[in-house]
Chains A and B, each alone.
Chain A
Amino acid sequence: MSAVVSLLAAALIPGGACGIFGWWLGRRGKPVEPRAALPSLLVSIPRARPEALVELLPVAAVLLRSEGGLSHANRAARMQFGESLGAVIRHPGVHAALERLAAEESIATTLELDVPVRRVVLASFQLVPAELFPPGEGENAEAHVLVILDDRSDAEAVDRMRADFVAHASHELRTPLASLVGFIETLRGPAADDPVAQQQFLAIMAAQAGRMQRLIDRLLYLSRVQRLEHTRPKSVVSVSDVVDRLMDETTFLMRDADASLTFPFSDEGIFFLGDEDQIVQVLLNLVENAVKYGGPGVDVTISLTVDADVLRFLIEDNGPGIEARHIPRLTERFYRIESHGTAQVSGTGLGLSIVKHIVDRHGGKLVIRSSVGRGTQCEVSLPLPG
């Protein structure tokens, strides 16, 4: 921490112009992106403001004014925390630390957030003296506080996942397991000499075992997704690659279900920051749901719209639709709609939960609209790199 501050101090050459480097959070809000111009500007300007140096730090760092307002958040902080940054900075723990902070010592404190994704952040505070901040016209120099944000969500997530996994697995696996045990007892006892009944029971047992296997696979996948949830994906993904993979993977599904998938799509070379496997998984889950719950002969349409900064996938079907009261709860783990006599569909109850977590990780949004008798629309919007 003190090394960071001396780095700041060493690089401040007195005199000369200043202020070009203030992509401050202006009073009307949005930070202006620094862009690639940064290094050359640094060389050409005789005096750098501390913000410029904070910007270059490889760790997530923010400069706060002494009363707690955000003065500057560096690129690493914006990348890592994105939407959560505001909530991190106004966390009561930050204010408490600022009140206790004295010039000579640095303070570290742990901040916990629940939304938009669960995070545990270790924040270290260090006072930056007023002399380092050349005042603007008619202003007094004001001391700032440098806060280094260290995201510790990973370790906490592992613990939480473990507990969740045990709770859910034991709850959801108990039913199929109990039926397996029952059939094994029957096969050993009353049905020991009845080959016809044996075949019948073995078929049921195979189905139950298959269900348990799917459930475990899904649970493991979900816990992997949740572990990564707080790290924004950084790789560049091409929309046309995603679409190609989706088409490949749904071929059999469509044929078996007597359903059809249309995708009026023209490749305009659209790219976004994401995790390709996960995004394919999202679309695949949504298409699978549409086919599974849409009944035979359902038509599924995927469309894609690109706005200035948002990419929207829309998956529509003309199936039976979902009652409004179920819609908000669909992304809960193991939430299933009790079917009314119609085709009993077996799902793990985890598909949409996985979708939601992946979309959250990408800083996107999932919206489900449906009307009974007319069909369902799932909209996944993902932010495009601005």
Chain B
Amino acid sequence: MGTDSAHTVKSYEQELTRLRALMTRMGGIVESQVAQAIAAVTEQDEQAAQAAPAQDAQVDALEREVETLSIRLLALRGPMASDLREIVAALKITGDLERIGDYASSIARRSRKFDLIDGNISLSGLSAMGRLVQDNLRRAIDAISQQDADRALEVWNSDREVDEYYTAMFRALVTYMMEDPRKITTCTHLLFIAKNLERIGDHATNIAERVYYAVTGATLPALRPRGGAALSDPDEVQLP
């Protein structure tokens, strides 16, 4: 009997460890997709532009694996308290990660559709925004793998900066378009890219909220700190 229950506890623990490992791995791939997407845009890196969408299948497969394992754990182990929260959070977090991967692929694909050379448009804003989003994502995934509520709170609080960045990019790009209609095509693509980055930031925040809930059992306020000139929706930016 003693040996049996030890064994049960052991393999349950192993399955939880495996769940965490899968999540971390998925996070790592998504992180690299985002890095590639940003390199594809800001450095016009063709190879990176192809590499990011190529990893989609792997992310999808991992998402399914996490789902299967989570459901299995829920069904067979009857987890309680923090374990239960962690497993439910994992189910939701994989969804967020998968969306982030999709946005990254879409940015990478878009990077090949426009030409910057004759546009004479500065990309330094976009690449700085990209770094900010990458850093938030990195910390969100650190929070998952270390089950660290403080880290999660940090990410949750800094999404405001991403929103403000998006607003700033929006203004700058619209100004470019008004100056010179020949820049409209390129700027429109860049605007979508900025929007996608902003969405990636939102999903990183969602992940942070879920990790916070899984670790502490408490939920963060429904309204998170928003940037972008205190607008409820960053798209409501006034045109310059």
Contacts and interface: CB of A to CB of B under 8 A. Distances in A.
A and B associate: yes
Interface of A: 25, 27-30, 65, 67-69, 83, 86-87, 90-92, 94-95, 112-116, 137-139, 324-329, 331-335
A334 B124 contact: yes
B161 A86 contact: no
Contact of A69 (B20, B124, B125): B20
Given A91-B28, A331-B128, A138 B7 contact: yes
Contact of B148 (A29, A67, A68, A114): A29
A162 to B, nearest CB: 15
Interface stretch (B63-71, B105-113, B135-143): B135-143
A90 B141 contact: yes
B196 interface: no
B123 to A, nearest CB: 11
Given A30-B146, A329-B128, A332-B128, A67 B18 contact: yes
The residue among B125, B128, B161 with the most chain A CB atoms within 10 A of its own CB is B128
B134 interface: yes
Contacts of B142: 83, 86-87
A376 to B, nearest CB: 15
Nearest to B134: A115
A87 B25 contact: no
Contacts of A90: 24-25, 27-28, 31, 141, 145
Contact of A29 (B25, B125, B135, B146): B146
B50 to A, nearest CB: 15
Contacts of A333: 124
Contacts, number: 100
B24 A69 contact: yes
Interface of B: 3, 6-7, 10, 16-18, 20-21, 24-25, 27-29, 31-32, 35, 38, 55, 124-125, 128-129, 131-132, 134-135, 138, 141-142, 145-148, 161, 164-165, 167-168, 171, 227, 229
A15 to B, nearest CB: 24
B35 A114 contact: yes
Contact of B32 (A92, A138, A139): A92
A83 B224 CA distance: 25
A369 B17 CA distance: 41
B117 to A, nearest CB: 14
Nearest to B13: A27
B164 A327 contact: yes
B10 A95 contact: no
Given A29-B146, A116-B138, A326-B168, A139 B229 contact: no
Contact of B25 (A95, A324, A327): A95
Contacts of B27: 90
B32 A69 contact: no
B28 A92 contact: yes
